[in-house]
Structure 1
Amino acid sequence: MSQAAARVSEVESEKQPLVIWVLFFACIISFMGLGLVDPILPAIGAQMHASPSQVSLLFTSYNAIMGISMIFTGMVSSKIGIKWTLIAGVCLVILFSALSGSSSSISQIIWFRVGWGLGNALFIATALSAIVSLSNSGPLKSIILYEAAIGLGISVGPLLGGELGAITWRGPFYGVSVLMVIVLIALLIKMPNLPKSDKKISILDPLKALTNRGLFTLGLTAFLYNIGFFTLLAFTPFILAEMGLKEHGLGYVFLGWGIALAFTSVLVAPRMQEYIGAIKSMCWVLFLFALTLISMGIGVDSELWLITAVVIAGLFLGANNTLITTSVMNVSTVDRGVASAAYNFVRFLGGAVGPWLAPKLAESFNPRVPFYVGGAFVLIGVLSVWANKKHLSHVDHIEGH
């Protein structure tokens, strides 16, 4: 992580406004929530006598509402401003993560995760747009900073989740709530009241933005690779738990995954884009991620290989996250916030399908099939990018990267 920190220091040397670092810290805490609950999924299932497919609905409900909510995040931000959209999102996360921790049934947690997802949607869509708009750097370095926050949050989250989850499965939920209270205080104190945009954004604007062939292609690709992503994230813990790995062990596995993700998103992806180009690089890392998923299906009986493959997958996912996010910011002429909302709408729907589909396939067939199917979806995503590369070629030639 020292190299990732060095990259962040390089961006810091450009004398970013203090608000950028407040948002950076807030994004770290926000994305800790994703990995924080991962090590406790099997424990929740055991405590509440729920099947993997039922527990995986925690991800499905969360991602589904995040995707749907992205349609109106821009409209909300244009009406109440960036600061209060961020604060509203954080308040919802504080409330519903605490309620999730106090739940007495799996159905209650699933529904509370809906409110949590709504809050996170308001926060992350606005945070990305705010960092890109307020930063003294160009779009690429701003996105690298955003992806660094994601990587740091995702990498630390499973470790903290494993430690708190070893005490009680409720611990990580309460942990998210407490950490987001810190974020709320920081935003109230340091986030300025930015002027509202003169341009009013309607609920239909993100949907209209998807008529852009390039943006639609990137959204579709993200939808497909997120099925594979959440097969890895939401299904693999159950396989490893059956092999005897407890909360601590799962926390360390996904800590390694998060560190790998942070490393390539901050240090590797920008160099790949510079020397190979974003679109070719995206195709390569997604192809390698698909092969990794397929290999996990082949080696599903080997604990050592599954752990190794999870960490390796983090390398490919980290690079792809930066490459595709940068491309989204530059592929369309619409407002960046609208483009981000449109892309995230499609992307998170894929994140809703993956965790629901994987355990269903395992229950109907065997544990190998979810990895094969997830890999197949990612390969279709590669074909989608390659077939539409003429609509994406200009993303490597935008000034201000």
Structure 2
Amino acid sequence: MTMSSPAAPQARTPTLAVLFVVVFINLVGFGLVVPLLPFFARSLQAEPWQITLLFSAYSLGQFFAEPFWGRLSDRIGRKPVLLITLVANMVGYLLLAFAPNIWAAVLVRLFTGLGAGNISTVQGYIADVTPPERRAGRMGLIGAAFGLGFIVGPGAGGLLAQPQLGHVGYQLPIFVASAVAALAALGVFFFLKESRMKADPATPRPAFLSGLKAAQADQVISRVLMVSLIYLAGFSAMESAFGLWAEHRYAWTAREVGLSFMIVGLVSALNQGIFAGRLARRFGEARVLAIGMLLFGASLVMQTLAPVAWFPGFVLDLGLFRLPISQGWIIPVIMAIGACGMSLAMPNIAAMISRSAPPDRQGTMLGLNMAAGSVARIFGPIVAGLLYSGLGPDWPFLVGAMLTIPAAIMAVNAGRAARRRAAA
């Protein structure tokens, strides 16, 4: 007996609401930590190339974990896999807070990556309970939960961090991240209903990356996977180097970096929740995906061309409170433009894959998509660290911008393949 989706969850909006809240809570924890990683690593006396390894180690673990968790969620259901991965995140954050040196922190990030797998599982859940023609919109709603998590998480992380205390000053945000991961696990346990039936134990278990051959043979999925690989290599290069770049160029601290990522989350949430589904239905998923790639690439170039300082930092007095405005204020504006492009990418990538994959292989194919992203996130930060140290702080952004051009071409080609299939 193969898995099938129960009919009930398809008709119940509250199920999606619960999943939205769970994803939001989980991403608050993730958002708390990621913008602080360069500064946390600096407190451990790390060099730039070691700092970017924190990002690569997580993705290395995720590379092996995502296909496994995706296949397992097809087999035993989405809910158990979500619980396991959330608990692993909770433990991983606690271990990170007490890492005594940079190499211990790298190992902890590797462990946390092995426990990461809820993105493809969440996408599989959405595919289970959503008809094909509405998947882009609902993937966008879940993407909005990611964006909202990145609104609260980075801003809270920047405010909770106390750089003047040294290493200890970065532990409180990490403790909070562990707590919210535990809260998300409780939400899944008590409120989320399973979307799939358990598979027959006699069903043969597919091997690691078992869907790779089928994905390569599919003209749509293979091209979309290449979009993920190329685009996320550029994005991860920017993400891992941004804190170092901002500190070098504008003397920013964790506060400014966290607030900048908060703006990215706000724009992403609005764009995915309101516009992504509508744009996909009007212009097609592939075209919107290609435009998103190019918009993100343009923002990276604009970021490197921004002046070092148009004026000194100042404090804006709004009466009820005083808002400090730092040098480099234009950077969050440029990042917001890039966020518009990024927010068009993931929901349309996931929707195109789920449209092309059979129901019993959607978790597998979405897991392969996350594995492709993990490969990009393994090598993107490593290359970014080498570029930053060898050629200069701007080069991770410039190379990332170059990569968005072939990604956009691949997206257009995937759309053409999908239209040929539909017409056949």
So what's the TM-score if we normalise by structure 1?
0.88
Higher radius of gyration, 1 or 2? 2
Matched, 1:380 2:406: yes
Higher mean C-alpha displacement, 273-282 vs 39-48: 39-48
Match of 1:51 in 2: 47
1:200 Cα shift?
A: 5.5
> Which residue is 1:5 aligned to?
none
- Alpha-carbon distance in 1 for matches of 2:85, 2:289: 31
C-alpha separation between the residues in 2 aligned to 1:186 and 1:169? 27
Gapped regions of structure 2 (runs ≥ 5): 1-9, 164-168, 310-327
In the TM superposition, 1:331-350 aligns within 5 A as: 331-333=356-358, 335-350=361-376
- The match for 1:130 is 125
Query: Match for residue 237 of structure 2?
Result: 231
C-alpha contact 1:56 1:235 (8 A) present in aligned 2: yes
Q: Is the 8 A contact 1:209 1:215 kept in 2?
A: no
Q: Aligned equivalents of 2:39 and 2:336: distance in 1?
A: 22
- Matching residue's letter, 2:366: S
Asked if 1:390 corresponds to 2:416, the answer is: yes
Does residue 1:83 correspond to 2:87, yes or no?
Answer: no
**Alpha carbons of structure 1 residues 24 and 276: separation in structure 2 relative to 1, 3 Å:** same
Deviation at 1:82, TM superposition (A): 2.5
Deviation at 1:224, TM superposition (A): 0.8
Give the root-mean-square deviation of aligned CA atoms: 2.5
Which residue number in structure 2 is paired with residue 309 of structure 1? 334
Correspondence for 2:344: 319
Q: 1:210 aligns with which of 180, 204, 215?
A: 215
How far the C-alpha of 1:317 sits from its partner, in A, is: 0.5
Contact 1:53 1:356 in 2 (8 A): yes
Tell me by how many angstroms 1:196 deviates. Answer: 0.9
Output the CA distance in 2 between the equivalents of 1:308 and 1:48.
Answer: 31
Contact 2:136/2:276 (<8 A) preserved: no
Identity of aligned residues (%): 21
Distance 1:39 1:75 in 2: 31
Aligned length in residues: 383
> Are residues 336 and 388 of structure 1, via their aligned partners in 2, closer, same or farther at CA, if it must alter by over 3 Å?
closer
Higher mean alpha-carbon deviation, 227-236 vs 30-39, is at 30-39
Deviation track 1:328-383 (CA, whole Å, cap 9, x = no partner) reads: 21133362212211211112211222222112101111122211111111112112
Q: CA deviation at 1:18?
A: 4.0
Cα deviation, residue 154, structure 1? 1.9
Q: State the 1:388 CA deviation.
A: 4.5
Give the Cα–Cα distance (whole angstroms) in 2 for the partners of residues 19 and 257 of structure 1: 27
Q: Deviations over 1:183-206 (max 9, x none)?
A: 222222223465213566513432
1:194-205 equivalence runs, <5 A: 195-198=197-200, 202-203=206-207, 204-205=209-210
Q: Deviations over 1:131-177 (max 9, x none)?
A: 33135894234312221211111222101111222372122221111
Between 1:102-111 and 1:25-34, the stretch displaced more is: 25-34
Contact 1:150–1:262 at 8 Å: present in 2 too? yes
Q: Of 217, 241, 253, which residue of structure 1 is paired with 2:247?
A: 241
From the superposition, tell whether residues 200 and 21 of structure 1 become closer, same or farther in structure 2 (CA, over 3 Å): farther
Pick closer, same or farther for the CA change 1:99–1:338 going to 2, 3 Å: same
TM-score by length of 2: 0.83
Match of 1:273 in 2: 280
Match of 1:296 among 288, 294, 303: 303
Offset from partner CA, 1:108-152 (integer Å, 9 cap, x none): 11111122122221x222222123313589423431222121111
**Among 260, 269, 276, the residue aligned to 2:267:** 260
